[in-house]
């Protein structure tokens, strides 16, 4: 909805127009049609042509919904079968050598092989997209990498949108971010910097831009979120050079450089002085500082500013009056101002209208992707035509904000009093690690290189059917519980036969590691259709933390003690840690995260203590999001790590010395938080390491990490079954860095998404590899 700026708050130019736009949109469809089509293709039930038709239908439906709401420019190229960074790798021709034959033989199968691997070829490494729970496939580059433009996907989707009558803006991962996200390919000598390939990559981007311009693109968006992180002078110089050269091209579309998740800082003046035609900036959270930063650099005269004033990462309604105030100020700082979300709407669910079980008044506090597009259009209309044209929307928004602020859900005096009474002593174990370790060795009597898993076992179709039958009333609670018990029996029996040393109950009762707990904690809301992409075809339903939080009753003790009754080997209690509970929820934005984390930690502390009292001697508190939630700017990290590690210690600090506390992290860059990992004061940590070739083991050793660790030897995000030699080779790499007394053997992550056949084979190979390597250790170590 393009509107002319004429009324209240319209700023200096009565002739200016205000457009509404977004950077990206949820890909999955209202019923996760994309997930079903892709997984159907993998199993042979869906043809390639049928998959492509489903994808085209979903893209068309997204564009139509956006246009019908009033969005002026729709994004193209943001849609992906698996991951938009992998799409960029294809676009620039950076196919790893081991995948080139498969890509040449069948581009679609080759694409999925890069994402998932095959039995014979390893996939690309996967890690978190900045500080989100979205995972991307890491580009592998080396000094011999040759780039070649392949704009077929980008041009094809642009033409689709044009043919449907839309005004499209292709969205690309920018060249600087692409290179900064890349890693040296396996076998490349240490010290290689992918950014040195910039001279080779720039002509490829120039060719893609020319192709898009020829196909009808008026604007192209180049996403450079890597520039919101702390960057060296050389990296900033590279960014300036990129956009001077691309901006100087003839016969190109207009260029919009987008950043999100934080403020650009020192990169803002760098980009502002290049000849690009516009910048898209985040104005939410810490990035609200962009308002002052823009004024400090003299604004963006003659350039387009796309102002991301609607939070694209959380689900709370926008404060429309506050956003209009920001937008009104921005009118004086740029040649033209348009309105957008702060980032792609990929990170939020699709539509609150599908949620029928949330109280209607509370539902009015929430905005998913469709509601956020309405907010954007409303703000554009208010900015362009004057606030009197949106008076009804402003009044309703004020009422909804007031309703939330006054709700008794948001403040529970007893919860706040308990959190305020926490002391430092509550966050410390009663004995230092060295004394605890000796007590735990005596208690557990484990061999060297003990084997275990991370927690979950395959979530079978039978389990999902049982949950659906319970919700629909086709079975009662007693029948459902018998099904869960049968699954736990099978999981325990298999682990005993396979020879694992520390067992798990398999978590058959849990559909999700955060949602399961959220449904049992006061203060949380659960959705039925609030799906958000985590990676590939893996979607999660983040719960919504709306108010003060407490644990009414034990959550896991029953199933853990039942599993322990089936075996003489230790069974781990399995919990999700406080930081991950926050990071993988849509968390309240009306108080500091540290305050909310303390409430979660106290609830989990009660569960830890109850598990121990019930006889559980090993308790794992997973914190895969500790690194993910790390602020993107270094100056904000110490405060975050202080409250995050305190929350973990508050969760675990009440147990006896001989109770072994584990934690788990996966699919992130851990090098930045090694000191924090030590500060957690966990006894054992398991980490993803298979795709990253055991890199973390060396980093732990270099950092002087003194506890026990289990770097993963089985990549669970691939259908590949690692053979005994492969697992043993990774284990030996681990032993080169860590002594056998402190090394555990485990998969990278939980096994929920895998099938039983591959899990059985993989874990049997893992146990055999541990036994084989254990047998080679010196007698003094055995």
Annotated catalytic sites, by residue?
717
CA distance 512 to 753: 11
| Sequence-ordered list of residues with C-beta below 8 angstroms from that of 238, at least 6 positions apart, any chain | 176, 195, 198
Q: Are the C-beta atoms of residues 142 and 97 closer than 8 Å to each other?
A: no
DSSP 64: H
What is the distance of C-alpha 431 from the center of its chain?
Answer: 35
Run of H or E residues at 75: strand 73-76
| Sequence-ordered list of residues with C-beta below 8 angstroms from that of 530, at least 6 positions apart, any chain | 315, 349, 355, 368, 541, 542, 544
Q: Is 529 helix (H, G, I), strand (E, B) or coil?
A: coil
CA angle centred on 690, ends 689 and 691, rounded to 5°: 100
Among positive and negative, which fits the CA dihedral 582, 624, 94, 231? positive
DSSP 138: P
Residue 746 burial (C-beta neighbours within 10 Å; 0-12, 13-18, 19+): buried
Euclidean distance between the first and the last CA atom of the chain, given in angstroms as a whole number: 72
Q: Are the C-beta atoms of residues 691 and 744 closer than 8 Å to each other?
A: no
| Sequence-ordered list of residues with C-beta below 8 angstroms from that of 93, at least 6 positions apart, any chain | 146, 147, 148, 149, 150, 204
Q: Which two tokens stand for residue 768?
A: 């055999």
- Locate all alpha helices (DSSP H) within 357-446, ordered by sequence: 360-363, 369-385, 391-406, 413-420, 433-444
Q: Which of 404, 759, 461, 382 is nearest to 588 (CA)?
A: 404
């Amino acid at each position: 909805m393009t509107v002319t700026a004429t009324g209240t708050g319209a700023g200096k130019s009565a002739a200016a127009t205000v457009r509404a736009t977004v950077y990206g949109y949820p890909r999955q469809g209202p019923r996760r049609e994309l997930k079903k089509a892709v997984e159907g293709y993998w199993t042979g039930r869906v043809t390639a042509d049928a998959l492509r038709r489903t994808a085209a239908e979903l893209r068309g439906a997204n564009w139509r919904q956006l246009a019908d709401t009033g969005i002026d420019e729709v994004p193209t190229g943001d849609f992906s079968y698996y991951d938009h960074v992998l799409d960029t790798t294809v676009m620039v021709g950076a196919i790893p050598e081991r995948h080139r034959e498969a890509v040449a033989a069948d581009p679609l199968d080759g694409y999925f092989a890069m994402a998932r691997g095959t039995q014979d070829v390893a996939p690309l490494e996967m890690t978190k997209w900045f500080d989100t729970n979205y995972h991307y496939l890491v580009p592998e580059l080396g000094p011999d990498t040759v780039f070649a433009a392949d704009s077929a996907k980008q041009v094809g989707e642009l033409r689709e949108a044009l043919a449907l009558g839309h005004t499209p803006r292709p969205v690309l991962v920018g060249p600087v971010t692409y290179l900064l996200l890349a890693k040296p390919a396996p076998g490349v000598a240490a010290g290689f910097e992918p950014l040195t390939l910039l001279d080779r990559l720039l002509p490829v981007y120039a060719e893609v831009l020319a192709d898009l311009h020829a196909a009808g693109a008026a604007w192209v968006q180049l996403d450079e979120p890597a520039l919101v992180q702390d960057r060296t002078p050389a990296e900033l110089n590279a960014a300036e050079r990129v956009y001077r050269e691309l901006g100087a091209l003839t016969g190109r579309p207009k260029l919009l450089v987008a950043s999100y998740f934080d403020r650009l800082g020192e990169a803002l003046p760098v980009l502002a002085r290049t000849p690009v035609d516009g910048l898209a900036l985040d104005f939410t959270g810490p990035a609200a500082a962009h308002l002052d930063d823009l004024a400090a650099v003299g604004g963006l005269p003659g350039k387009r500013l796309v102002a991301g004033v609607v939070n694209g990462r959380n689900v709370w309604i926008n404060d429309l009056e506050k956003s209009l105030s920001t937008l009104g100020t921005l009118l004086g700082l740029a040649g033209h101002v348009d309105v957008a979300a702060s980032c792609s709407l990929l990170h939020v669910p699709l539509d609150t209208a599908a949620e029928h079980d949330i109280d209607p008044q509370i539902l009015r506090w929430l905005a998913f992707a469709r509601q956020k597009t309405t907010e954007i259009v409303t703000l554009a209309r208010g900015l362009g035509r004057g606030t009197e044209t949106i008076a009804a929307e402003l009044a309703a928004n004020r009422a909804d904000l007031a309703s939330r602020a006054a709700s008794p859900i948001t403040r529970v005096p007893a919860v706040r009093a308990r959190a305020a009474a926490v002391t430092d002593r509550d966050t410390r174990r009663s004995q230092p690690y060295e004394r605890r370790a000796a007590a735990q060795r005596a208690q557990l009597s484990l061999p060297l290189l003990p084997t275990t898993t991370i927690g979950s076992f395959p979530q079978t179709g039978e389990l999902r059917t049982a949950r659906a039958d319970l919700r629909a009333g086709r079975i009662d609670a007693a029948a459902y519980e018998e099904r869960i018990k049968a699954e736990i029996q099978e999981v325990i029996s298999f682990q005993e036969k396979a020879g694992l040393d520390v067992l798990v109950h398999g978590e058959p009762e849990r559909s999700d590691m955060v949602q399961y707990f959220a449904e049992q904690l006061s203060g949380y809301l659960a959705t039925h259709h609030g799906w958000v992409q985590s990676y590939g075809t893996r979607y999660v339903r983040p719960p919504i933390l709306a108010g003060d939080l407490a644990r009414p009753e034990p959550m896991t003790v029953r199933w853990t003690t039942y599993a322990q009754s089936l075996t003489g080997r230790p069974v781990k209690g399995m919990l999700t840690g406080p930081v991950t509970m926050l990071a993988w929820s849509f968390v309240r934005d009306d108080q500091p995260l540290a305050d909310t984390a303390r409430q979660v930690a106290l609830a989990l502390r009660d569960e830890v203590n109850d598990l121990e009292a019930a006889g559980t001697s090993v308790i794992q508190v997973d914190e895969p999001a500790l690194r993910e939630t790390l602020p993107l700017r270094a100056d904000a990290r110490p405060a975050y790590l202080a409250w995050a590690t305190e929350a973990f210690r508050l969760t675990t600090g009440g147990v006896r010395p001989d109770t072994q506390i584990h934690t788990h992290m996966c699919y992130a860059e851990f090098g930045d938080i090694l000191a924090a990992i030590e500060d957690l004061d966990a006894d054992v940590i398991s980490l993803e390491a298979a795709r990253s070739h055991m890199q973390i083991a060396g980093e732990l050793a270099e950092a002087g990490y003194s506890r026990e660790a289990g770097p993963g030897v089985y990549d669970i995000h691939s259908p590949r079954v690692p053979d005994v030699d492969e697992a043993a080779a990774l284990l030996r790499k681990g032993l080169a860095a860590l002594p056998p007394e402190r090394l555990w053997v485990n998969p990278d992550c939980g096994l929920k998404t895998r099938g039983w056949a591959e899990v059985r084979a993989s874990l049997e190979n893992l146990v055999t590899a541990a036994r084989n390597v254990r047998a080679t250790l010196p007698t003094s170590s055995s």
